[in-house]
Amino acid sequence: MTEEILAVYERLSFCFETRKFADLRILLLDMEPADIAHYLENSLEEKEQLMFFRLLPKELASDVFVEIDSDLQERLIKAFTDNELKQVIDDMFLDDTVDIIEEMPANVVKRILKNSTPEDRKQINELLEYPEDSAGSIMTTEYISFSPSTTIESAFDKIRRTGVNKETIYTCYVVDRKKRLVGAVSVKDMLLAEKNSIIADVMDANAVVANTLDDKEQVALMFSKYDKLALPVIDKEGCLVGIITVDDAVDVIQEEATEDMQKIAAVLPNEKPYLKQSIFSIWKARAPWLILLLITSTFTSIILSNYESKLNSVLYAFVPMLMGTAGNAGGQTSVTIIRAIAVGDVEFKDIFKVILKEMLVAVALGLTIGVICFGKIMLIDSLYDKIAITEAVVISVVCAISLIMAKLVGCVLPLLAKKIKLDPAVVASPLMTTIVDALALIIYCTIAIAII
């Protein structure tokens, strides 16, 4: 929050409290919808929120509404008259309406649909049918299309006539009589073309397209790869059914990164901003993995119990260090590979390249860490405990071996998960630690007992 915006918020509060509503509206007209939404959510009491929303200039109401969080949206909708609701929905883009509907309880959804135009209702219902993570679920049907024989001049007329209600006018699409996509044309190319040339002359006939059922994360990556402002979405027949704009792709990229980090940290995905999450929903997102990892830790306890009588106390004291190093080493690799898969740098077909690379790195790191571990034991740890050289050698060697083994598990697991269409981030991270911990312990105990 910049100081500038905080100053504007103060002026808003002053106008609102002193009922200077004309001044309030002038202030609001100069503000970004996202900033107004933030004010509405955080600076007003529940009772004041509806009143404040009603004071919004008409042209801003919908833009602000899509920016506020779903709890407040629900409360506002319940308080709206049918007329108010109609107005807000009419001015919203269909993809935003669909996003809101997906968060609302059934009775609110019914009211929203009742107050939409029949044409919008039909399209909303179609959009709602696409699977949750598909391109179809984030597209909008409000785009501009031309036939290939349209002249540039009449194309601009169409933009002027219908552009106000379209999510973007900067990329328009070209379709044949059967609505099949035949090209894309940018307003830039249209502006730079002769007025009497036709769309077919300036369009890009090989536009990058997404399919309705493509994973939305893959589609978002296409934006960062090809630097587009919008992508057309086609169905199985090649017909244009919608477009996705870059602002929605940005949201997907942010959400997917957040989700992957949550999964890596053993938290179930939760889309709401942190401060809006309830204690219960945070508990629900965190308890399952903690419980699962607690249960699986039984393995390490069993292993330690079994070898209990055979490991001396010196060797015992190094168990946390060994498991920690293996866990850290495995985590470095698994997170690197999970991210590389997510941004499209690595695919399953690269598995042997990846394994080779990780094993070379692992051997180099194993040597490094093994030597440093030996040095540390002889120089530091031997200060407070009597440690034999054989023991130091065994610990260092096991440390190096566990590290290599952890890196192998760390690179193979996410790639296998991807191959069998599981989420690499879920499978690979917390689970990996358990596997790596257990393996490291077994290696340690076996080698230690064999040698000492």
Write each residue from 413 to 452 as x if it is in contact with a second copy (CB under 8 A), else as -, in one continuous string: -----------------x--x---x---x-----------
Task: Taking each helix axis as running N to C, give the angle between helix 58-67 and helix 46-55, from 0 to 180 degrees, rounded to the nearest 10.
Answer: 140
Binding to a second copy, residues 69-108 (CB under 8 A): none
Sheet containing 210-211, strands listed edge to edge, beginning at the edge strand earlier in sequence = 210-211, 230-234, 240-245
- Residue 344 Ramachandran class (φ > 0 left, ψ -120 to 50 alpha, else beta): left
Among residues 32 and 129, whose Cβ is nearest to a second copy? Answer: 32
**Binding status of residue 151 toward a second copy by CB under 8 A:** no
Exposure string for 182-219, b = 16+ CB within 10 A, e = fewer? bbbbbbebbeebeeeebbbebbeeebebbbbebebbeb
Report the residue from 76, 335, 439, 443 that binds a second copy according to the rule CB under 8 A.
335
Report the residue from 260, 408, 424, 436 that binds a second copy according to the rule CB under 8 A.
260
Residue 262 C-beta: closest distance to a second copy, Å = 7
- Cα–Cα–Cα angle for 338, 344, 350, rounded to 5 degrees: 75
- By rule CB under 8 A, what count of residues binds a second copy? 114
**Binding status of residue 196 toward a second copy by CB under 8 A:** no
CB burial of residue 10 (10 Å; 0-12, 13-18, 19+): exposed
Rounded CA-CA distance 420/405 in Å is: 22
242 backbone dihedrals φ, ψ, rounded to 5°: 180, 180
**Binding status of residue 286 toward a second copy by CB under 8 A:** yes
Among residues 50 and 417, whose Cβ is nearest to a second copy? Answer: 417
Exposure string for 74-91, b = 16+ CB within 10 A, e = fewer? eebbeebeeebbbbbbeb
**Binding status of residue 26 toward a second copy by CB under 8 A:** no
SS3 call for 104: coil
Provide the 10 A C-beta neighbour count for residue 50: 18
Rounded CA-CA distance 136/128 in Å is: 9
Residues 6 or more apart in contact with residue 107 via CB below 8 angstroms: none
Among residues 35 and 85, whose Cβ is nearest to a second copy? Answer: 35
Among residues 229 and 393, whose Cβ is nearest to a second copy? Answer: 229
Residue 43 C-beta: closest distance to a second copy, Å = 14
Report the residue from 23, 90, 350, 423 that binds a second copy according to the rule CB under 8 A.
350
Residue 79 C-beta: closest distance to a second copy, Å = 26
Binding to a second copy, residues 353-412 (CB under 8 A): 353-354, 357, 360-361, 364-365, 368-369, 372-373, 376, 380-381, 384-385, 399, 403
Q: Which stretch binds a second copy (CB under 8 A): 106-114, 125-133, 136-144, 270-278?
A: 270-278
CB 94 within 8 A of CB 123: yes
Among residues 118 and 352, whose Cβ is nearest to a second copy? Answer: 352
**Per-residue DSSP letter, 420:** T
Residues 6 or more apart in contact with residue 75 via CB below 8 angstroms: 46, 49, 50
Report the residue from 26, 57, 347, 419 that binds a second copy according to the rule CB under 8 A.
347
89 backbone dihedrals φ, ψ, rounded to 5°: -65, -40
Distance of CA 104 to the CA centre of its chain: 21
Report the residue from 156, 215, 351, 382 that binds a second copy according to the rule CB under 8 A.
156
Among residues 84 and 91, whose Cβ is nearest to a second copy? Answer: 91
Binding to a second copy, residues 201-220 (CB under 8 A): 205-206, 208
Binding to a second copy, residues 223-252 (CB under 8 A): 223-227, 229, 246-247, 249-251
Q: Which stretch binds a second copy (CB under 8 A): 49-57, 115-123, 173-181, 289-297?
A: 289-297
Among residues 115 and 145, whose Cβ is nearest to a second copy? Answer: 145
Q: Which stretch binds a second copy (CB under 8 A): 13-21, 80-88, 111-119, 258-266?
A: 258-266
**Binding status of residue 346 toward a second copy by CB under 8 A:** yes
Residue 125 C-beta: closest distance to a second copy, Å = 26
Q: Which stretch binds a second copy (CB under 8 A): 53-61, 120-128, 157-165, 443-451?
A: 157-165
